[in-house]
Amino acid sequence: RPDTSFLWFTNPCKTMKFIVWRRFKWLFIGLILLLILLLFVAVLLYSLP
């Protein structure tokens, strides 16, 4: 058997990251951008007199 057939078993974190990143890549990017925007608005509202 090739070594790649047991690659998912020896490194499950990389395999899960690959599967999850391919499926939910745009959702993660959108959530990160939304979080940055919300933090920017919160700092803006906090700094207003």
Tokens of 14: 């990389």
* Confidence band for 8, pLDDT divided at 50, 70 and 90: low
The structure tokens listed for 27 are 């959702």
Instruction: Supply the pLDDT for residue 42.
Output: 96
Domain limits at 42? 3-47
pLDDT, tens digit, 9 for 90 and up, residues 24-37: 889 999 999 999 99
pTM over 0.85: no
Question: What's the rounded mean pLDDT across residues 19-27?
Answer: 86
Q: Number of structural domains, the chain?
A: 1
Q: What is the DSSP code string of 1-49?
A: --GGGGHHHH-HHHHHHHHHHHHHHHHHHHHHHHHHHHHHHHHHHHH--
pLDDT at 2: 58
